[in-house]
């Protein structure tokens, strides 16, 4: 619900469990009053603090006896108006001046949510309401529209900003963030998800002191190195209690999230597209739309936050066509063969996998052009008939013969120097004349700021999808963008390059998903390098990491579950010793960890023992039985591997009738201490059958007394099932 009280100029936004309140102060600036647990519709202006401090100036319209914008909690930071904290927008005027005074002009409250053209955005459920507040910059004349969308049944608040230029002049946006809020405390820990290739989304949580903490990527993608999500946690927050505020960007390119504690001990949180090298030319009459951010408030720590994000992204972001559809259990040939395969070898893998119950074969890298290693052919999206005699249809027919579907790997944003595409269009690779471009994995990035490049790649993929029976695509992206330049953009538009690149990627994803709505696309970027809400809008699942080791994956999936639903995580069982770590873990553990997502297998099935094939068969049957919990259930993180020697996660059906628990002992210990784990989210007054032991226990017993954990050797695991009786 969104209310505006004209007598005290208060905006009161309230979702399922939160209130968000701000007002227009005496001088026309927006001032924050409360964001957190629900409050009544009281006049909260009693909370406003107008402070005076030396060295905090006042714009001429605010009397010197009163507050400076430097001191009050705002909703949007402006540059050069007395607020010395980081500004949310920087506008350069024709004379080179950069200063803004954003003051209230008007507002509207409407049903619905604004659809962003050419960018991923949350979907309407018909019930949500959007408040749009227009602020006018008294200096440049530029207007900014702050949009806030409230879904009554959710703890998510969706925000973004539109930058409108109603003036006669052209201006340049040097920063154009998507949201800003000044929280009323300085005592937070900041949780973020840093990492690297093979170790994405590690949980790091540390206090924020005075100064600015910048969480960002300048790589043209969200990156393995830092996810575009942060959460601020009250000091006394535990996994299941305390105030917790999440900020997740619906964006897939270079980004920045800033946390700044200022002299008044408020904490400013803001972000959006990275401002590093960014500049957007905004001509007269033009509008620039910044991506959306989904803010979640939870009064029950990260646990409540993750449940809220998973619900919201499933209900309002991921394609309704796939979100609750049973996902294919794939057999992927990458770790089985790498580039070394032919039709016969693949046929052997398919046959064995179909026998143990996989339902889709995904042909990974190496099937096209003249690709036999990673040095050639990206861009040549036609089959290598020397390698695959008879082409793709022979393999597809083989799949069909075994009752399986077929999926194909592509890397649409890339070009190899040794490719027909490059020989034809060397200028399509991102580069600047006279500067040798950086190579990564021997490849260049295509200039997706150019329409004809996107059109050409679309044409090639369209041909594949119309010419063959393909039900699944794996869209990979194996390097980051380095040269931040396109010869096709004018000098005054070079600062738009990184964002325009992402818009090109979205344009292709949009066209493909619209033209081939039944083809499910899995996102991927050298593992989980572009695991973000922007991609999830187009791709219902994303390859979580190239690291398939069952120990490492426990950490990666634990971190990923902070924001993203289990069904979004693609997880495969691979061979041991593991190709990334050299570690050997039991097949049971590998499958247990991989069952906490969209599961699959990625190994040479021909080399599996008969016994392992039988085990895999049982695993897939067991997975299909719980897959509904993975698709629709609530996730709870019961034991944190970052803080102890065990990992444990739980999925509970929404009606609380079914519970699935997976645990892993990271390293076995002799005389290990006795530890219990308490389940979560059950019905306290209902009885549950503990399938593995036959015991019948009340929900409140399982949640309050818990269960004793088994003592297992290194990487041992357990799976538990509970059914309400």
**Count of residues engaged in binding ligand DGJ, rule: CB under 6 A:** 11
Of 155-163, 342-350, 514-522, 524-532, which segment contacts ligand DGJ by CB under 6 A? 524-532
Write down the catalytic residue from 476, 532, 547, 549.
Answer: 476
- Asked whether 439 and 387 are in contact (CB, 8 A), the reply is no
Element (H, E) at 292: none
Residue number, 288 or 334, with CB nearest to ligand DGJ: 334
Cβ-based neighbour number of residue 679 at 10 Å: 24
Q: Residue 476 catalytic?
A: yes
Residue number, 239 or 364, with CB nearest to ligand DGJ: 364
Bond preceding residue 700 cis, omega within 30 of 0? no
Element (H, E) at 700: helix 699-704
Which of residues 334, 361, 368, 538 is near ligand DGJ by CB under 6 A?
334
Measured CA distances, 366 to 20, 381, 382, 543, 602 (Å): 52, 11, 11, 18, 15
Residue number, 258 or 481, with CB nearest to ligand DGJ: 481
Residue number, 137 or 411, with CB nearest to ligand DGJ: 411
Maximum Cα interatomic distance, the chain, rounded to a whole number of Å: 83
Which of residues 365, 496, 522, 664 is near ligand DGJ by CB under 6 A?
365
Q: Which two tokens stand for residue 11?
A: 């905006």
Question: Rounded to 5 degrees, what are φ and ψ at 436?
Answer: -65, 120
Whole-number minimum distance, CB 339 to ligand DGJ, in Å? 8
- Residues whose CB falls within 8 Å of the CB of residue 648, separated by 6 or more in sequence, listed in order: 637, 638, 639, 661, 662, 663, 664, 677, 709
Whole-number minimum distance, CB 470 to ligand DGJ, in Å? 16
Distance CA 697, CA 678 (A): 13
Which of residues 246, 504, 527, 633 is near ligand DGJ by CB under 6 A?
527
Q: Residue 374 catalytic?
A: no
- 10 Å CB burial of residue 456 (0-12, 13-18, 19+) is middle
Whole-number minimum distance, CB 336 to ligand DGJ, in Å? 12
Whole-number minimum distance, CB 640 to ligand DGJ, in Å? 26
Q: Which two tokens stand for residue 719?
A: 């799976």
Residue number, 311 or 546, with CB nearest to ligand DGJ: 546
Tell me which residue has its CB nearest to ligand DGJ: 365
Of 22-30, 520-528, 579-587, 704-712, which segment contacts ligand DGJ by CB under 6 A? 520-528
In terms of phi and psi (left: phi > 0; alpha: psi -120 to 50; beta: otherwise), the region of 588 is alpha
Among candidate residues 272, 267, 248, the one with its CA nearest the CA of residue 208: 267
Of 119-127, 161-169, 175-183, 523-531, which segment contacts ligand DGJ by CB under 6 A? 523-531
Residue number, 280 or 543, with CB nearest to ligand DGJ: 543
Whole-number minimum distance, CB 545 to ligand DGJ, in Å? 8
Residue number, 334 or 497, with CB nearest to ligand DGJ: 334
Q: Which two tokens stand for residue 375?
A: 């040095």
- 10 Å CB burial of residue 436 (0-12, 13-18, 19+) is exposed
Which of residues 157, 289, 524, 697 is near ligand DGJ by CB under 6 A?
524
Residue number, 178 or 198, with CB nearest to ligand DGJ: 198
Element (H, E) at 2: strand 2-5
Spell out where 30-140 has E strands.
Answer: 30-37, 89-92, 102-111, 129-137
The contact pattern for ligand DGJ, residues 472-501, with x = CB under 6 A and - = no contact, is ----x-x-----------------------
Cα-Cα-Cα-Cα dihedral sign, residues 420, 425, 429, 432: positive
SS3 488: coil
Whole-number minimum distance, CB 694 to ligand DGJ, in Å? 41
Q: Which two tokens stand for residue 88?
A: 């949310």
Distance CA 413, CA 194 (A): 24
Whole-number minimum distance, CB 717 to ligand DGJ, in Å? 23
CA dihedral 52, 53, 57, 62 (to 10 degrees): 0
Of 55-63, 206-214, 519-527, 549-557, which segment contacts ligand DGJ by CB under 6 A? 519-527
Of 214-222, 460-468, 521-529, 559-567, which segment contacts ligand DGJ by CB under 6 A? 521-529
Of 172-180, 522-530, 557-565, 608-616, which segment contacts ligand DGJ by CB under 6 A? 522-530
Whole-number minimum distance, CB 334 to ligand DGJ, in Å? 5
Write down the catalytic residue from 546, 547, 549, 634.
Answer: 546
Which of residues 271, 526, 540, 565 is near ligand DGJ by CB under 6 A?
526
Which of residues 162, 239, 364, 552 is near ligand DGJ by CB under 6 A?
364
Whole-number minimum distance, CB 364 to ligand DGJ, in Å? 5
Whole-number minimum distance, CB 408 to ligand DGJ, in Å? 11
Radius of gyration over alpha carbons of the chain, in Å? 26
Distance CA 282, CA 480 (A): 27
- Residues whose CB falls within 8 Å of the CB of residue 80, separated by 6 or more in sequence, listed in order: 87, 98, 99, 100, 139
Residue number, 407 or 633, with CB nearest to ligand DGJ: 407
Whole-number minimum distance, CB 524 to ligand DGJ, in Å? 5
Distance CA 535, CA 513 (A): 12
Q: Is 409 in the site for ligand DGJ (CB under 6 A)?
A: yes
Cβ-based neighbour number of residue 465 at 10 Å: 18
Q: Is 531 in the site for ligand DGJ (CB under 6 A)?
A: no
Residue number, 140 or 337, with CB nearest to ligand DGJ: 337
Distance CA 549, CA 576 (A): 8
Distance CA 332, CA 547 (A): 14
Residue number, 300 or 478, with CB nearest to ligand DGJ: 478
Residue number, 180 or 414, with CB nearest to ligand DGJ: 414
- Asked whether 231 and 246 are in contact (CB, 8 A), the reply is yes
Whole-number minimum distance, CB 150 to ligand DGJ, in Å? 37
Q: Which two tokens stand for residue 52?
A: 């005076």
Q: Is 543 in the site for ligand DGJ (CB under 6 A)?
A: yes
Q: Given the rule CB under 6 A, which residues bind ligand DGJ?
A: 334, 364-365, 409, 476, 478, 524, 526-527, 543, 546
Which residues carry out catalysis?
476, 546
């Amino acid at each position: 619900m969104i209310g505006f009280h004209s007598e005290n100029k208060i905006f009161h936004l309230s979702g399922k469990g939160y209130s968000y309140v701000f007002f227009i102060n005496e001088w026309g600036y927006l001032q924050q009053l409360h964001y957190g647990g629900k409050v009544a519709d009281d006049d909260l202006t009693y909370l406003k603090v107008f402070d005076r401090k030396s060295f905090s100036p006042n714009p001429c319209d605010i009397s010197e006896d009163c507050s400076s914008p430097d001191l009050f909690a705002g909703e949007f930071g402006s540059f050069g108006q007395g607020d010395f904290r980081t500004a949310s927008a920087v506008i350069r005027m024709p004379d080179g001046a950069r200063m803004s005074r954003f003051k209230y002009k008007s507002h509207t409250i409407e049903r619905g949510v604004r659809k962003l053209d050419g960018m991923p955005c949350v979907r309407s459920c018909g019930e949500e309401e959007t408040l749009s507040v227009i602020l006018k910059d008294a200096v440049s004349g530029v207007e900014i529209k702050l949009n806030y969308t409230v879904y009554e049944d959710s703890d998510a608040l969706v925000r973004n900003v539109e930058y409108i230029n109603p003036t006669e002049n052209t201006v340049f946006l040097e920063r154009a963030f998507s949201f800003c809020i000044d929280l009323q405390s300085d005592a937070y820990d900041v949780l973020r998800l840093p990492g690297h290739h093979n170790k994405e989304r590690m949980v790091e949580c540390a206090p924020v002191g005075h100064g600015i903490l910048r969480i960002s990527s300048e790589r043209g993608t969200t990156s393995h190195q830092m996810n575009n999500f942060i959460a601020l946690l009250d000091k006394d927050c535990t996994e299941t209690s305390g105030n917790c505020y999440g900020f997740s960007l619906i964006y897939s390119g270079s980004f920045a999230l800033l946390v700044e504690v200022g002299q008044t001990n408020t904490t400013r949180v803001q972000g959006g597209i990275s401002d590093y090298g960014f500049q957007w030319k905004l001509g007269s009459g033009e509008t620039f739309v910044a991506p959306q951010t989904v803010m979640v408030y939870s009064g029950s720590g990260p646990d409540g936050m993750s449940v809220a994000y998973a619900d919201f992204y499933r209900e309002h972001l991921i394609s309704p066509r796939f979100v609750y559809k049973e996902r294919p259990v794939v057999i992927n040939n990458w770790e089985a063969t790498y580039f070394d395969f032919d039709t016969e070898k693949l046929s052997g893998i398919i046959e064995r996998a179909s026998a143990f119950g996989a339902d889709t074969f995904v042909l990974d890298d190496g099937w096209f052009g003249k690709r036999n290693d990673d040095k050639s052919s990206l861009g040549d999206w036609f089959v290598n008939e020397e390698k695959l005699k008879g082409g793709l249809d022979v393999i597809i027919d083989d799949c069909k013969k075994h009752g399986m579907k077929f999926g194909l790997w592509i890397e649409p944003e890339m070009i190899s120097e040794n490719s027909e595409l490059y020989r034809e269009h060397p200028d399509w690779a991102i580069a600047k004349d006279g500067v040798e471009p950086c190579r990564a994995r021997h490849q260049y990035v295509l200039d997706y700021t150019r329409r004809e490049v996107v059109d050409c790649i679309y044409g090639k993929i369209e041909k594949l999808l119309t010419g063959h029976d393909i039900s699944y695509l794996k869209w990979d992206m194996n390097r980051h963008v380095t040269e931040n330049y396109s010869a096709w953009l004018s000098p005054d538009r070079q600062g738009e390059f990184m964002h325009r690149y992402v818009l090109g990627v979205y344009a292709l994803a949009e066209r493909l998903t619209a033209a081939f709505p039944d083809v499910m696309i899995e996102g991927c970027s050298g593992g989980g390098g572009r695991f973000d809400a922007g991609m999830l809008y187009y791709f219902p699942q994303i390859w979580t990491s190239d690291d398939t080791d069952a120990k490492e994956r426990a950490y990666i999936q634990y971190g990923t579950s902070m924001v993203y639903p289990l069904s979004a995580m693609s997880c495969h069982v691979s061979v041991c010793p593991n190709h990334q770590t050299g570690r050997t873990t039991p097949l049971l553990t590998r499958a247990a960890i991989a069952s906490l997502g969209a599961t699959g297998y990625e190994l040479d099935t021909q080399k599996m023992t008969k016994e392992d094939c039988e085990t895999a068969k049982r695993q897939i049957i067991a997975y299909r039985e719980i897959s509904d919990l993975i698709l629709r259930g609530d996730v709870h993180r019961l034991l944190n591997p970052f803080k102890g020697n065990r990992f444990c996660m739980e999925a509970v059906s929404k009606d609380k009738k079914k519970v699935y628990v997976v645990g892993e002992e990271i390293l076995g210990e002799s005389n290990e201490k006795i530890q219990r784990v308490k389940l979560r989210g059950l019905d306290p007054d209902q009885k549950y059958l503990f399938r593995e032991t036959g015991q019948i226990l009340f929900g409140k017993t399982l949640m309050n007394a818990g269960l004793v954990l088994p003592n297992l050797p290194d990487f041992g695991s357990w799976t538990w099932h509970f059914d309400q009786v």
